[in-house]
């Protein structure tokens, strides 16, 4: 017979404490096993590619690859002394350059260095052409004089200083370019000339448009959410369809709808002309500019504001406002002092969600944005598919991603990602 001091045991004679621990551990392991496949899937198909892309923003192995020996001898040269490198550097460059020119890859380095300073692309193409036919046996002068004869740029310290700076495996130049900064000949970081600064303005414009859109969605979403939260559930369910239908409708459908409405020969302009508010030759231009982006994106993102606001307002007990009224508050005071403070959490949740979504928007600005309505995403796409400056695209993307992640963490603190609801 077991004494009372003896530990409790399960049927198979293991102590209960141990058995419970085991079962808890087993449960934990099972739970982890259930999540593991998705976790690995997201890791391989999503997180790793993004991480890989971020590395492209600093990666710079091309100089080492194309000029392997030049990079080594050039490392000892100090551009700050203001003198041209030694003869051995010119010789190494001639040898490396000739191999690269015969393999037809030297122009790739020229294109890469052209991002830093224009003129390098043509310099490398010209030098490559000459080096391909170059025969070291017939060399009558020094390698230095020979290269300078091909192009006098090789006689300038700045040319070699740039090559020296970009000969490492990593570069900060893409990130600097993404922030409109540049390195001067002495290697100090400074602002680009005023007329070639574009990205800071672009980031500011993206943030400004996103702020405006967030503000407009709050302005338009608040009354609707309030109405839906206070109406009888039968009526509000019906009206909810008017919110959910745009939410479920394809982004491109809504964008093309706004094109049909806003363009010069579109429905709104036609109506205004027909009523006689504007004359036929002074039609409003509401598309292919920031107005178009603003209107279309506010419409597209409005449901993302209404739904979280609605779910917060739904939880506010109407007796709060009644109590305030019965104690003598006017309708406006009761709203301002009692109802509104209770909805701040909803405004925060919806606001951050809309802001996150609008800051990275691509399709709508691309179709209705014109020039001054384009956002940072459009430039990332341009550098990936048109200009092929992938390093700069990666650097711009990394800055955008950092902005979004900061907001995401804020959202998580305010709402909690596991409390996110849809529909």
Binding to another protein by CB under 8 A, coded x per residue (else -) over 285-324, reads: --------------x--xx----------x----------
Nearer residue to another protein within complex by CB, 72 or 405: 405
Nearer residue to another protein within complex by CB, 16 or 242: 242
Least distance in angstroms from the C-beta of 30 to another protein: 7
Residues 6 or more apart whose Cβ sits within 8 Å of residue 279? 273
Rg (CA), the chain: 32
Stretch that binds another protein, among 120-128, 136-144, 336-344, 359-367 (CB under 8 A): 359-367
Query: What whole-number distance in Å separates Cα of residue 203 and Cα of residue 338?
Result: 38
Regarding 371 and contact with another protein (CB under 8 A), the answer is no
Binding to another protein by CB under 8 A, coded x per residue (else -) over 10-49, reads: --------------x--xx-xxxxxx-xxx-xx--xxxxx
Nearer residue to another protein within complex by CB, 56 or 130: 56
Question: CA 230 → CA 225, 306, 423, distances in Å?
Answer: 9, 14, 18
C-beta of residue 70 within 8 angstroms of C-beta of residue 88: no
Select from 157, 284, 381, 414 the one that contacts another protein (CB under 8 A): 381
Regarding 265 and contact with another protein (CB under 8 A), the answer is yes
Regarding 341 and contact with another protein (CB under 8 A), the answer is no
Query: What whole-number distance in Å separates Cα of residue 229 and Cα of residue 317?
Result: 11
Least distance in angstroms from the C-beta of 204 to another protein: 17
Least distance in angstroms from the C-beta of 67 to another protein: 24
Stretch that binds another protein, among 73-81, 156-164, 341-349, 397-405 (CB under 8 A): 397-405
Strand segments (E) across 87-222: 181-183, 189-191
Three-state DSSP string of 227-276: HHHHCCHHHHHHHHHHHHHHHHCCHHHHHHHHHHHHCCCCHHHHHHHHHC
State residue 170 phi and psi, 5-degree precision: -125, 150
Regarding 255 and contact with another protein (CB under 8 A), the answer is yes
Question: CA 325 → CA 229, 269, 320, 321, distances in Å?
Answer: 19, 46, 9, 6
Residues 6 or more apart whose Cβ sits within 8 Å of residue 116? 162, 166, 173
Select from 19, 69, 114, 256 the one that contacts another protein (CB under 8 A): 256
Select from 58, 363, 410, 414 the one that contacts another protein (CB under 8 A): 363
Residues 269-288 touching another protein, rule: CB under 8 A, are 270
Regarding 340 and contact with another protein (CB under 8 A), the answer is no
The distance of Cα 77 from the centroid of its chain, to the nearest Å, equals: 38
Nearer residue to another protein within complex by CB, 122 or 311: 311
Number of residues that bind another protein (CB under 8 A): 92
Least distance in angstroms from the C-beta of 346 to another protein: 16
Classify the phi-psi angles of 187: left when phi > 0, otherwise alpha if psi is within -120 to 50, otherwise beta.
Answer: left
Select from 309, 394, 395, 415 the one that contacts another protein (CB under 8 A): 394
State residue 338 phi and psi, 5-degree precision: -115, -55
């Amino acid at each position: 017979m077991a004494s009372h001091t003896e530990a409790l045991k399960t049927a198979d004679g293991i102590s209960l404490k141990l058995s419970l621990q085991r079962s808890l551990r087993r449960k934990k392991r099972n739970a982890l096993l259930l999540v593991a496949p998705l976790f690995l899937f997201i890791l391989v198909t999503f997180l790793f590619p993004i991480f890989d892309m971020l590395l492209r923003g600093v990666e710079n192995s091309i100089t080492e690859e194309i000029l392997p020996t030049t990079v080594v001898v050039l490392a000892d040269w100090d551009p700050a002394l203001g003198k041209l490198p030694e003869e051995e550097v010119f010789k190494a460059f001639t040898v490396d350059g000739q191999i690269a020119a015969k393999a037809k890859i030297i122009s790739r380095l020229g294109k890469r260095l052209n991002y830093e300073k224009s003129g390098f692309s043509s310099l490398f193409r010209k030098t490559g052409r000459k080096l391909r036919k170059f025969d070291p046996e017939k060399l009558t002068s020094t390698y230095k004089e020979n290269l300078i004869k091909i192009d006098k740029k090789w006689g300038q310290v700045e040319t070699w200083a740039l090559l020296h700076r970009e000969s490492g495996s990593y570069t900060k130049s893409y990130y600097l370019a993404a922030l409109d900064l540049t390195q001067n000949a002495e290697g100090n970081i400074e602002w680009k000339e005023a007329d070639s600064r574009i990205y800071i303005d672009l980031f500011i414009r993206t943030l400004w448009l996103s702020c405006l859109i967030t503000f407009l969605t709050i302005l338009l979403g608040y009354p609707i959410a309030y109405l839906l939260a206070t109406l009888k559930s039968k009526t509000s369910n019906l009206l909810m369809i008017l919110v959910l239908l745009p939410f479920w409708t394809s982004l491109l459908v809504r964008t093309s709808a706004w094109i049909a409405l806003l363009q010069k020969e579109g429905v709104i302009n036609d109506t205004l002309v027909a009523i006689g508010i504007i004359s036929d030759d002074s039609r409003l231009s509401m598309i292919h500019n920031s107005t178009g982006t603003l209107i279309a994106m506010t419409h597209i993102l409005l449901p993302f504001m209404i739904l979280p606001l609605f779910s917060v307002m739904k939880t506010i007990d109407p007796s709060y406002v009644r109590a305030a009224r019965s104690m003598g508050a006017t309708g406006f005071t009761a709203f301002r002092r009692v109802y509104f403070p209770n909805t701040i959490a909803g405004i925060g949740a919806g606001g951050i969600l809309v802001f996150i979504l609008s800051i990275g928007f691509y399709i709508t600005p691309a179709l209705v944005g014109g020039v001054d309505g384009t956002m940072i995403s459009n430039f990332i796409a341009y550098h990936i598919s048109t200009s092929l400056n992938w390093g700069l695209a990666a650097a711009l993307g990394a800055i955008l991603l950092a902005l979004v992640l900061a907001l995401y963490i804020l959202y998580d603190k305010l709402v909690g990602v596991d409390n996110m609801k849809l529909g």
